[in-house]
Amino acid sequence: MNGEPLPPLTPADISDRDLVLQFESLGDNCELGLVQRRVDAEPLGLLRFAGAPLPNLLRAMAARFAGLAGPSDIRIQPENGVYMVKLTKYDFIYHADAEVGKADPNVLLRQQIKILPFLVDKLLAELENPSKILVFRQNEPLLAADLVDLRVALDRFGPSTLLWVQPARPGHPPGTVACVADRLLVGYVTHLALRESVPDLDLASWLIMLRNAYTLHRAYVGPPEAAVAVPVPVPEPTRAITLRFGIEGNAQGSIRAGWSAPENGFTWAIGDRSLLSLDLPSPAAGYWLEMDLAPYIAPPALPSQRLEVRINGEAVHVFDPLPSGKIACAVPGRLVGGQSGVEIVLEHPRAASPRDVSGANDVRRLAVAFRSLTLSGIAGG
């Protein structure tokens, strides 16, 4: 591909090889790079095989990678019988794909001096005019402040979509993807490969997860302009379920316990939990639940809300803190397929009365104001 626009592909028909070319590694380690190699894709990328700890990456991004490709800042060093490339300016390191005794380190150095400026320019262009989904993964727990710093650093370049890859856990089975904020996806794989044994990755869950992330990304932003001459439709089910809340909405027939009376354009979820009962959408391998909402907050007494979503008795996602606006999460198809209906339980344990937290004349325990909710099918879920 070498930086050329990718062909117009829909999530349903894209091959595994073309799928992985829609993603660019931010370099915590080489796991995504090896996933690409396993399906015969070998894109050029500065951070594809790089060990680039997040603090070092943030420092490099702030400086637009200045000095990274300077000849005096590139070292070829032996390690465990192979040569490694060390970029000392920001302490990045990656394999030179050469064994000690079978390659000349001076030749390797000249190769790196020649190619690194091109790779830096390529990454900067990708950050400034994003056509790929940027992938970040880290074995160590990621602090909320670190994630904010990473998103701020990316936003300085352009409106890129970030996919944060995590190990699966209860409520988030391997392969599922959640859209937790604007241009922020969280994907789950069976496990993250350990740094000392990166080839021990789970290819199957990576590919399912990447396909679902690609589907969500295309549904939100559409195909990259450079890649298509006409819009490429994203496959949609023939029947999605959409609830519109408020006085003029259609949600009243689906509302059960835990709701206040509808108001102009929204309805409050109240108390500790709220229940919705939906008809079945069209059959699909997986589903996408999107909600447009606003949490009730009253700082400093009530700075945030928490929302846990349960579908037909099983937890599928937790939003904590709950943002305002459109949010979404993936729902495994097995929770919906073959059922008589869809029961959605919304747990919101921080509901509070405005009278108690702000002195307002409202005794209801408010949690979240819902404007709309849609459950629809996604490909490859």
Per-residue pLDDT of 9-29, as tens digits, reads 445 567 889 999 999 999 888
Q: Are 222 and 231 in contact, with CB atoms under 8 Å apart?
A: yes
C-beta neighbour count of 39 within 10 angstroms: 16
Whether the per-residue pLDDT at 221 is higher than 70: the answer is: no
Q: Which domains does the chain show, CATH number per domain? A: 16-227 (no CATH), 241-378 (2.60.120.200)
Which residue pairs from 189-194 have beta carbons closer than 8 angstroms and sit at least 24 positions apart in sequence? Answer: 189/165, 191/167, 192/31, 192/137, 192/139, 192/165, 192/166, 192/167, 193/29, 193/31, 194/139
DSSP E strands in the chain: the ranges are: 23-25, 74-79, 82-87, 92-99, 133-137, 161-167, 177-181, 184-189, 241-244, 267-270, 273-278, 286-295, 307-311, 314-319, 325-332, 342-347, 366-378
Note whether 326 and 291 are within 8 A (CB).
yes
Helices of type H across 157-281: 203-221
pLDDT at 235 over 70: no
Report the SS3 class of residue 35: helix
Q: Which residues contact 101 (CB under 8 A, 6 or more apart)?
A: none
Share above pLDDT 90 across residues of the chain, in percent, rounded to a whole number? 54
> Do the bridges between strand 184-189 and strand 366-378 make them parallel or antiparallel, or are there none, so unpaired?
unpaired
Q: Does the global pTM surpass 0.75?
A: no
* Cα(24)–Cα(92) distance, integer angstroms: 17
What letter does residue 172 receive in the DSSP assignment? B
pLDDT at 42 over 60: yes
- Cα separation, 239 vs 317, whole angstroms: 23
321 preceded by a cis bond (ω within 30 of 0)? yes
308, β-bridge pairs: 318, 347
Q: Assess whether pLDDT exceeds 50 at residue 61.
A: yes
* DSSP H or E run through 120: helix 105-128
CA angle 304, 135, 50 (to 5 degrees): 130
Distance, CA of 224 to CA of 295 (rounded, Å): 33
Orientation angle between helical segments 203-221 and 31-38, nearest 10 degrees: 100
Query: pLDDT for 94-146, tens place per residue?
Result: 888 888 988 899 999 999 999 999 999 999 999 998 889 999 998 888 887 88
pLDDT in tens, 152-202: 999 999 889 999 999 988 778 888 888 877 789 999 988 888 877 777 788
Q: What CA dihedral angle connects 296, 298, 303 and 304, to 10 degrees? A: 0
- Residue 313 tokens read as 């008795």
Predicted pLDDT at 219: 67
**At residue 261, does pLDDT exceed 60?**
yes
Q: Tell me the average pLDDT of the chain.
A: 85
Task: Average the pLDDT over 76-97 and give the result.
Answer: 90
CA 108 to mean position of chain CA atoms: 36
Q: Any residues with CB less than 8 A from the CB of 342 and at least 6 apart, and which?
A: 241, 277, 278, 279, 280, 281, 311, 312, 336, 375
